[in-house]
């Protein structure tokens, strides 16, 4: 039993150490690059990230839809972290999105990749400037609207607190997500097609600016501030250690 306690304690230390390293991000500029001569930039000053894109006026070459810039949690600032699905987490940040003009659409928020046999699929939990939405979507992640369910609305220049909780529900074995926005939360919602998942998930964020052809003043900026990662696996390890200690006391008794 002493060995069991030692293993539990070592496991707790390892979980805490690995999650403590997720205090960085990798920036992926121009994930969409439909206007390659726009003027984009990023500033990473953890726990804050600023993404900007200016002069998004198109180049007349198809496709001519939008530019997208993304970031993902990382331990080294070089490679995106692939978190095992069985490790629950909570990620949150304060987001300020500015669109000039507000239309065509500028959007920003969570961008989460989950491993699939062909690579990955993406879920989004975002705000936008023209539809005033606070909404989550993107297969296999569940759809949820804070406009419809809580009356929230977003305007360009507002600061909104967004968060996501991801976990495996022990009651039914399903991977689920809870969305959080300005103090409101969705129910625990199950992801779709869970038999396809290949074992990892990567949370992050993005800015997308839709092209306004011929308008060099078209621009967008997104500030992700107070980025916080809560290492839920550590709390689970503490629970396991407590159970082991209780079993030891009962055996001695």
Task: Return the CATH number at 129.
Answer: 2.60.120.200
Name the domain count of the chain: 2
Question: Do residues 75 and 184 share a domain?
Answer: yes
- Note whether 100 and 219 are same-domain residues: yes
pLDDT (tens digit, 9 = 90+) per residue, 192-240? 999 999 999 999 999 999 999 999 999 999 999 999 999 764 443 333 3
**Same domain, residue pair 166 and 250:** no
In this structure, the answer to whether residues 223 and 155 fall within a common structural domain is yes
3 lies in the same domain as 57: no
3-state secondary structure the chain: CHHHHHHHHHHHHHHHHHHHCCCEEEEEEEEEECCCCCEEEEEEECCEEEEEEECCCCCCCCCCCEEEEEEEEECCCCCECCEECCCCEEEEEEEEEEEECCCCCEEEEEEEEEEECCEEEEEEEEEECCCCCEEEECCCCCCEEHHHHHCCCCCCCCEEEEEEEEEECCCCCCEEEEEEECCEECCCEECCCHHHCCCEEEEEEEEEEECCCCCCCCEEEEEEEEEEEECHHHHHHHHHHHHHHHHHHHHHC
Domain limits for position 18: 1-22+231-253
Judge if 95 and 2 occupy the same domain: no
Same structural domain for residues 175 and 249? Answer: no
Which pLDDT tens digit goes with each residue over 122-159? 999 999 999 999 999 999 999 999 999 999 999 999 99
Model confidence, pTM: 0.85
């Amino acid at each position: 039993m002493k060995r069991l306690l030692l293993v539990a304690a070592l496991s707790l230390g390892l979980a805490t150490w690995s999650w403590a390293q997720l205090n960085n991000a990798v920036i992926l500029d121009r994930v969409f690059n439909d206007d390659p001569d726009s003027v984009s930039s990023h500033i990473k000053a953890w726990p804050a990230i600023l993404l900007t894109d200016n002069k998004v006026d198109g180049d007349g070459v198809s496709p001519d839809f939008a530019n997208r810039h993304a970031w993902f949690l990382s331990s080294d600032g070089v490679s995106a972290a692939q978190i095992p699905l069985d490790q629950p987490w909570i990620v949150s940040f304060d987001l300020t999105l500015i669109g000039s003009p507000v239309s065509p659409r500028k959007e920003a928020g969570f961008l989460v990749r989950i491993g699939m046999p062909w690579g990955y699929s993406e879920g989004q939990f975002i705000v936008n400037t023209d539809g005033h939405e606070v909404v989550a979507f993107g297969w296999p992640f569940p759809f949820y609207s804070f406009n419809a369910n809580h009356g929230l609305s977003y305007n360009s220049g507002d600061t909104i607190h967004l968060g996501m909780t991801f976990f495996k529900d022990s009651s039914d074995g399903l991977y689920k997500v809870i969305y959080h926005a300005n103090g409101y939360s969705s129910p625990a919602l199950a992801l779709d097609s869970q038999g396809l998942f290949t074992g990892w998930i990567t949370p992050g964020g993005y800015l997308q600016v839709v092209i306004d052809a011929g308008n060099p003043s078209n621009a967008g900026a997104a500030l992700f501030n107070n980025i916080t990662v809560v290492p839920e696996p550590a709390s689970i390890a503490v629970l396991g250690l407590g159970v082991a200690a209780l079993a030891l006391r009962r055996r001695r008794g």
